Each structure stands twice: as C-alpha cells, then as structure tokens.
Amino acid sequence: MGLSRLAALHGVATSYSPSPDVTVSVPDDTVIAVLAALGVDAGTPADVRKCLAAAESRSRLLPPTVVVWAGEPLPPALAGLPPGSTVTVEPEPSDLPGHPAGRPPAPLSMRARAAAPAEPVASGEPVASGEPAPEAVPAPEAAPATGAAPAWWIPPPHGVHRVHVRTPDNRRATATLVAAPPRLPQPPEGTHGFLVQLYSLLSARSWGMGDLGDLADLAAWAGRSVGSGFVQVNPLHAAVPGKPTDPSPYRPSSRRFPDPVHLHVESIPEYGHVRDRAALDDLRQDAAALSEAVLNKGALIDRDAVWELKRQALELVAQVPLTPGRRADYCDFLAEQGQALEDHALWCALAEVHGPDWHTWPEALRAPRSPGTARARSELLDRVDFHCRLAWLTAGQLAAAQRAAEDAGMGVGIVHDLAVGVHPAGADTWSQQEAFAHGMSVGAPPDAFNARGQDWGLPPWRPDVLAATGYAAYRGLLRGLLAHAGALRIDHVMGLFRLWWVPEGRPPTDGTYVAYDAEAMLAVLVLEAHRAGTSVVGEDLGTVAPGVREALARRGVLGTSVLWFERDWEGDGRPLAPEEWRRDCLATATTHDLPSTAARLTGDHVTLRHRLGLLTRSLEEELTADLTDTAEWLALLARLRMLPEGDGDEEAAVRAVHRFLRRTPARMTGVWLPDTVGDRRPQNLPGTWDQYPNWRLPIADPEGHPVTLEEITASPRLHGLMEVLRLRKPHTAPPGERRP
C-alpha cells in the first residue's frame, strides 16, 4: 500500500485497464524504476516510508503552476486561499511574442476573502525587491454570476504571469500563473485540403526530395485551382544527423527547430550572389541526378545524399555577406530565439566534431552549461553561426509557404505536425537534460491490436519539471511551431494527459502510465494558439482514456476521424452513417500509418503484410476479414447513392469514400495526396524497420511509377476527385469562429 500511495502522489499508475472489464497490475519493479526517473527513491520499504512521509508532510499554498481560464471559476488553489490572503499577479514581460506592445501592465494586487459585499482590494507586497508596492485596485462592483470568479478576483490579461500569495499568518508562496482564453480559434466550417509527407512530393526542380519551395507551390496551386483550405505536412523537425539518418520524421533531434534539409536552396536571396558558380552548377547536376534516380530509376529517397549536396551549397551561400536589411532581420531572429537557438546550433556544431550521440562525447561537453562546453562554444563560433543562419533561412521559407497559402485564399494554410517526442541522443535531450526522464521511453501498452505493446524509443518529459519551470520548454516549443502555421496537428494528443513509460531494457508490457497536468498542458496550448491565431487538430486514434476527448473538445481541439474506424463500437459495430460523425474533427480516409484508399479497397495492404510476415492469421483469413469490412462500407455507400458507377470501379469507389466524408458534419476534410493518383504503397508500415522502405518513397501512380508535383496537379484522376470535394460549400461560421 505504501508504494501505491507514493506512486499516486507522483502520478504513476500501479494498474491500468486495456478494456472496460479488464484491470492489469503494473509490476512493482516498474513502479520503482519510474519513480526513480522522477527523482523519488523507492528502492526499499524503508525508502518508501521515508519518501511517503516527506511527501505527505509537505503543505503547499500553491502548486508550481496554476491555471485560470477566462470567464470560468477560479481553481481551488486560488479560490480556497484563507480569507484575508493577499494575492499579487506580476504580469509577464511585454516583449514576449503575442503580448501587446507598450508599457507592461502594472501588477495586480487583491485580497481573498469570504463571500461579502464588494469592497476596495488591499494592496499587497512589492512583486520584487526594489520595486514600489502596486496600487490598490478596486474590486468589481457587482457580485459575480453563478460559476464565475469571486468578486475579489481581478482577471489578469491572457499570458504566463507570476502569482504571489501571502496569508494572514505570513505564509508565502509564488507560482506560475497561466491565464488562458476558454477555447482555441476554430477553422472555417467545411474546409478541405491535402495531407502529404513533404519529402515524398518531388517537383521537377527538387534536389532529390520534396522541399519548402514545393510546399509553397502546392499550397498556391491547391488554394487557387481546387479551392483547398489547407495543406497538412509531416513534422519538419530537425533530424539527428548521421549515416544513415533515422528517416522517421517522428523521432527528431529537436522539435523546437526545423530541419534545413527542407530548404529550397535556389530561393535563398544570397544564392544568386555566390561567386563560385561552377561549384553550384556541379551540385545542381548531382541533385538532378538524385531526383532522376528517384523518379525514373526506382531509387529510394536518400535524405543523407540530399543533405550532403544542400550542405555544400549552403556553405557557399553562407559566404555571401548579408545586406543591411537582411542582417537586421537575422539579428532580430537571433534575439527572439535566444538561448534555445544558441544551444541547438552548438549541439549541431559539436555533433559535426564528436558524432550525433552526445552521451559518447567527451565528459566535459555532455552538459550545455559546463566550462568545457563554454570553451567549445567560443572555438566553434563560426559553425554555431552557420547553424543559426540555417535555422533563420528555414524559418523564412516556412513563413513564405504560409504566405503563399494565405495569398491563394486558404482559410487555414499550412498545418504543421508536432511529433510526440524526440530522439534520446538529440539536441533537445542535451540542451534540456533536466526536463527529460532519462532511462525511460514512451510507448503504448498491450491492446487488442498489439499484444506485445509498443516502445517508440522517445524519452518523455518529466511532468514535475515542466510544472516547476512554468512549462517553459513546452511554451517555447509551441511558440516556434505556431509562428508560421495556419494550424497544428498534435501526434498522439492523449499524451497531454498521460504517457506510457517503459523502463530501459524492459519490454513494453512492463511499462505504466504517468499522468501530466492536463489542465496546464491544455491551457498553455490554448494560450499559444490563441496568440498565433491558429487551430489545433489532435490525433486521438487508438486507446483513449474516458473523458479525454470531451476535455479536448471543450477547449476547441479538433479530433481525427478515419473512415474505416468510424463504427458503432458500443452498439452493433456497423459503419456510422455520415450524420452520426462528430463535427469538431478532421475527417480522412487514411493517414501516413495506414494503407492508401486504393490499397484498402483492393486488399493490396493485406498481401503486402503477408509478404513481410506481419500477419497473425493465415492470408485467407486476413483477406476474408478485410473483404468483409470493405464490403460493409461499400454497401453503405451504395445505399446512400454515393456510388452510382456500381462495383468494380476503383476510382469511383475512391470518389465515393470522399463523397461520404463531405457528407459528414466534420469541420475539416483531409485528402491523402497519394490517393489522388491511386498510389497503393503506404509511406510507413508500423512494425517494420528494414523490411520496408518507411519514409523514403515518392508519391506514385497505381503501377508504382513515381509522379512529380507537376504531374499530380495535372492528373485527371485528381481533378475528378476534387470535384467531389468542392460540391459541399463551406458553411459560414458563427462570429468568433474564424481565425483572428
């Protein structure tokens, strides 16, 4: 019981329920290992008793981070303060992104009291040494409405502030105060757009993989020619360098900064002023050969080869002096990004010298603030500047892609993707070591689809450190991603509530759930998205704990609904009729981890998994089950008169599937770009590593021949499908639902 109580105090589960009628106990060894990763020694019964006594004896006036939602009741941490307590809110600095310009607002000081007629609010203590005490602020004249904050409370502006409390008996506490609007901005009703893995989208000018120039071009064409409202891409986070580089965009070195491999080199203003034109011409010829091999010779996308060519070109570009205006813009970027960018660039420079795994670096360099690292920072100043410049150039092209989307009339624009975690050897885990639970990996517990569970090899954030630091790392991450986004997709959005931690060296079955402060995680998300004017889509597929979808919907986070999974699971299990779908979601036929629609309709995905030895039943059994599932959906489409061409027409069936999606009330409808040309190959096949070329395939036609961006946009099959998407006219959103 002592271990269970100690675990509960730190948000560590000692059991879980893979299904409503099943409860599984977590091994004690797992609980002890997870607590150790949280800085709690529970190795022996005596240790447990000692830590439990210490934890239960602590009495905090305030938790490390407190959340207040505009127009909603105060949290118990503030509403339950002893009457007569003085509460002073120290507003955040006004130079932060999204904060109104001008003089910072004065500190707000107020006195908590029991229910009583409104009276002037007493002033509190100075918010910092040497500052004058804030002036008294009168309380509201009228009593609050039912469910609103008490009369003594003066709502602070939206932001991340500091709150100071002093009780009548002179106890004091300070905490981070996140003041958030109640809901996220919402996208226009009934908008449709494309989903694409950017590397797979090669144009005639690409250097062996799709780039940000191709993304801007796709957005400009899609908005103007087929009325699309968005383009959703895979995570563009910085990858861990090396040969071979991990090709997965969902296991990056850093989620905070983008990868310069996505740069369209010729669009950089300094490119035209490079003196060594012969060297550039040679690199362009090599790049053309890479693209030719991918598009016409069956080669896979080779990210390492692409980066080697681009790196050489960028080295030449970096030799061109910046104009005064460009230099000023670069300096502003450096000032805005601050220490986070400097650390990231230093990691990149050190990785060039010592390799991509910082755990193997010389001992003096393994901490970002060590004296040895400070010396290296000085010695590698030119390389640090080079990597800072690459981040600036990439941010500029991300901004250009969003401008291209907006100029083309898109109501949303570019939807960026946030991976659930980072590589254990990458830049983020080096620069933010205290924030990660080392020796732990994020994954998923065993379920009906995977009896062995999953280990994704991603170290989780420590919830206690996040709270203690006012979620600074999380805020910086979101601010960077949202700067040039029309919306943000969050992979495994359930991770805002809890994550499955797997101790190093143990199977995923020996993991457990660790809880996060979902109220704080959501408040920071809503605040940062509100400042950026962006919507948020959560990937909430798979096992979702009770109440999670409702909590997300309350704050305006859209869900993800994939056609093949939308069944009446609590009833007869049949496909849901379109009107029974939820409204606040992105509705799609597939995702990057699932078969394309053509492969699903033909059963090709089953035969592929059979060839790779991934089936758990015989091929005949799997094909029969798959055919039955598909037939049910096709029968529903026929009953709804969405398949007038009848059976046997694959293109017509793909159109019918998307006709169905447009009949649902979903706010957003996503079209997997490979579906528009009949591609049968998945971009990622979960459960495989070297057995299948995950994350390295270009978009292809039904025969597997790669097609370029130019060929995709000219495809009669695409235009026939998009006519279906354009039939539903976007609904006019109520006031306040469109992006600011």
Rounded CA gap, 21 and 626, in Å?
27
The mean predicted confidence, pLDDT, of the chain is 91
**Strand 413-418, strand 440-444: pairing:** unpaired
Render pLDDT for 462-501 as a digit per residue (tens, 0 to 9).
999 999 999 999 999 999 999 999 999 999 999 999 999 9
Give the per-residue pLDDT at 94. Answer: 63
Rounded CA gap, 289 and 295, in Å?
10
Give the per-residue pLDDT at 727. Answer: 72
Assign 230 a pLDDT band (cuts: 50, 70, 90).
very high
Render pLDDT for 191-208 as a digit per residue (tens, 0 to 9).
999 999 999 999 999 999
Render pLDDT for 610-623 as a digit per residue (tens, 0 to 9).
999 998 899 999 99
Render pLDDT for 341-367 as a digit per residue (tens, 0 to 9).
999 999 999 999 999 999 999 999 999
Burial of 312 (0-12, 13-18, 19+ CB in 10 A): middle
- For residue 237, the SS3 value is strand
Query: Is residue 21 scored above 60 in pLDDT?
Result: yes
Render pLDDT for 371-394 as a digit per residue (tens, 0 to 9).
999 999 999 999 999 999 999 999
| Helical packing angle, 371-379 and 324-354, nearest 10° | 120
**Strand 487-490, strand 65-69: pairing:** unpaired
Q: Which long-range contacts (CB under 8 A, 24 or more apart) does 331-334 make?
A: 333/391, 333/392, 333/395, 334/388, 334/392
Query: Is residue 605 scored above 80 in pLDDT?
Result: yes
Ranges 125-134, 390-399, 534-543, 718-727: which has the least confidence: 125-134
Give the per-residue pLDDT at 60. Answer: 86
Give the per-residue pLDDT at 56. Answer: 81
- Percent of the chain exceeding pLDDT 90 equals 83
The full 3-state SS of 121-138, as one line of letters, equals: CCCCCCCCCCCCCCCCCE
Edge to edge, what strands does the sheet with 191-196 contain? 535-538, 487-490, 413-418, 230-233, 191-196, 668-672, 585-588, 559-562
Burial of 496 (0-12, 13-18, 19+ CB in 10 A): buried
Query: Is residue 565 scored above 90 in pLDDT?
Result: yes
Which residue type is seen at 141? Answer: E
Assign 129 a pLDDT band (cuts: 50, 70, 90).
very low
Name the β-bridge partners of 483. none
Ranges 129-133, 267-271, 725-729: which has the least confidence: 129-133
Q: Number of helices and strands (H, E) in the chain?
A: 21, 21
Give the per-residue pLDDT at 732. Answer: 40
Rounded CA gap, 681 and 73, in Å?
51
Of residues 145 and 310, the one with the higher pLDDT is: 310
Give the per-residue pLDDT at 148. Answer: 67
Give the per-residue pLDDT at 136. Answer: 32
Rounded CA gap, 696 and 688, in Å?
13
Which residue type is seen at 137? Answer: V
Give the per-residue pLDDT at 303. Answer: 97
Give the per-residue pLDDT at 448. Answer: 64
Give the per-residue pLDDT at 116. Answer: 36
Render pLDDT for 94-107 as a digit per residue (tens, 0 to 9).
655 445 444 556 78
Assign 18 a pLDDT band (cuts: 50, 70, 90).
confident
Render pLDDT for 145-181 as a digit per residue (tens, 0 to 9).
445 678 889 999 999 999 999 999 999 999 999 999 9
Give the per-residue pLDDT at 88. Answer: 94
Rounded CA gap, 396 and 183, in Å?
29
Render pLDDT for 318-334 as a digit per residue (tens, 0 to 9).
999 999 999 999 999 99
Its sign, for the CA torsion 572, 578, 584, 588, is: positive
Rounded CA gap, 673 and 679, in Å?
9
